[in-house]
Structure formats: structure tokens, C-alpha cells
Amino acid sequence: MKIDVIVPIYKEFDEVKSLYCSLLEQKDVEINKIIFPFTLSNEKVDDELRVFIKENGIVSFEMPLEKFSHSLTREKAIREYAECDVVLLMSQDVKLVDEHSIYNLVKEVNNEVVYVFGKQICTNKSIEKYIRKKNYPETSYVVSKEDIEAKQLMAFFASDAFSALNRNVFIDIGGYQGYDIMMGEDMLYSKFVLDHGYKKKYVAEAVVEHSHKYTLKQLYDRYYETGKFHKQVGLFENYKSTDSGMKLALYVLKEALKHFDIPVLFRWLPDMTSRYLGMKKGKKAK
């Protein structure tokens, strides 16, 4: 398969280099273009990244930090720089677990299933490991407009850390439809896909490692932005959370107790409190 790959990059040279090298090792796909939307940090690493981009023939465009947008930056790359019918979206900090991770994902994109996302695993001993296990099950599934009533808010769950889309359909339905957002563009696009009668798919066979070590402050900020996203967009207010934050928190606690995971048990209450307070405050943001 012939695809274009879009990876927004920022600062972390070793991450960017590692991901680039792993892209070249993928099998059964032909990468037409690797496109790096490049957010500047105004640090020395910017020059290192520029040299790396030029030496490896990578397509790129630069922007200051204040101009970066999770939605509009990706849309610019898809519309103005990509050419192939199938476009792969990734985060710079993911690790492809095998040589067919990308092929297993992109082969599922067609004219009916126009948006797909893969499985993310976390290898560090943290709360995130259990959350990934809950959110990314072992079995693939397809979601259509008819499933929204039953799935409610979870019908729109997706992640552009590792996803692929039909570029022609993306353009036809207006991309992100002008929304300038710093989080949740994957969830927003899922809604547009389903509302237009197309389908999306979770592909359990396409796996990447995606691990973080957030501080409590970083967690709070992240969930603050999530809450702000819901208020700003306002398209999800009429949907219920069938898998609520409380259910997820209790699932993590149960798993940690089952595995006698002491670090997670100590972290559980402040971690979940940071998420809850950040989300609540974000939804009230002006």
C-alpha cells in the first residue's frame, strides 16, 4: 500500500529520529511522503531537527508554538502536503511494536471504513498501563452511526497517536470543520465521520507502545484541556458517558489490587483527583 505519514514534531530529537528509523523498517507499505509539521521551541534542538529533516528528504513546514493546533495543523498537512488516498497520523512518542504495525492498520481503510485507530499499550508500571488495557481491548470492532445510541460518548473514542484516514473523505466532509482545538480532534473527527454515514474501526492487531510519566500537575493540565474542549466544541453534551470516569477509576483500583501493584495503589487517589478536578475546572473555563 502507498501512504503518506504525518507526525507533528516538537523538540525531542531522539524521539523523532527513533520514530523515523522505525518507519523505514515497516513492511508491506510504501511510504510516499513523511510529513513533519514542525513546532519551533526557539532552542538549539530546532537547528538539529532542521538538519535531520533536510538530510533525510522529509517534507516539513514550521510554525511558532502559539500557532500550533491539534486540529488545524494536521488539517494543513493533510490538505496541502499529503497526496495519497490513505494518510497515517502518528505522535512522535509512539513506538511501533513490529514490522507490520502500520500495514495492519492502514489496510483497513476503504471507502466505507474511512477512519481507523490502532491499539496502544503502556509498558511502564503506572496507572496508564491499566487505562490503556481498558480503552484498547484485544478484539477489533467497527462503529457506525447506528451504534451511537448504544455506545453514546464512547462511539466517538479514537486516538490520533496512531490512526489512519481516507484523505478524499476527510476533504469532502470538511476536515475538522474549522475547529481550532488543542485536544480531542480525533474524537471530533469521529463524530463527523459517523454523522456523514461512514464507519470507523478499532484495529487491535495494529499495535504501538505509547507510555507517559505525567506529574500530577501535567495530568491536571491535560484534563483541564479536555474539559475545555468539551465546553468549546459543545457537540457532545447530549451524549452519556457509558464508561464513566468513576468506572474507569474503580477498574484501575481493582486491577492494582489484583496484581498487588503498590506504586499504583499509592498513586491512585491523587492521580484520579487531579484528573477529576482538571476536567471539572476545564468545563467551567471562559
Each residue's pLDDT tens digit, 64-77: 999 999 999 999 99
pLDDT band (50, 70, 90) for residue 246: confident
Sequence-ordered list of residues with C-beta below 8 angstroms from that of 137, at least 6 positions apart, any chain: 202, 204
pLDDT at 109: 98
31-88 pLDDT tens trace: 999 999 999 999 999 999 999 999 999 999 999 999 999 999 999 999 999 999 999 9
- Among 161, 128, 133, 234, residue whose Cα is nearest residue 191: 234
**pLDDT > 60? residue 142:** yes
Bigger pLDDT: 285 or 28?
28
- Burial of 34 (C-beta count, 10 Å sphere; 0-12/13-18/19+): buried
Buried b (16+ CB within 10 A) or exposed e, 158-171: bbbbbbbbbbebbe
Residue ranges per domain, the chain? 2-209, 216-283
Query: What percentage of the chain reaches a pLDDT higher than 90?
Result: 83
pLDDT at 239: 83
Count of CB atoms situated within 10 Å of the CB of 225: 19
- Burial of 52 (C-beta count, 10 Å sphere; 0-12/13-18/19+): middle
pLDDT at 243: 57
pLDDT band (50, 70, 90) for residue 285: confident
- Among 196, 200, 145, residue whose Cα is nearest residue 172: 196
94-135 pLDDT tens trace: 999 999 999 999 999 999 999 999 999 998 888 999 999 999
Write down the pTM of the prediction.
0.93
Phi, psi values for residue 103, rounded to 5°: -60, -45
**pLDDT > 80? residue 223:** yes
Nearest-angstrom CA–CA distance, 260 and 185: 36
| 2-209: CATH class | alpha beta
Bigger pLDDT: 121 or 286?
121
**pLDDT > 90? residue 213:** no
pLDDT at 232: 86
Distance of CA 102 to the CA centre of its chain: 15
pLDDT band (50, 70, 90) for residue 242: low
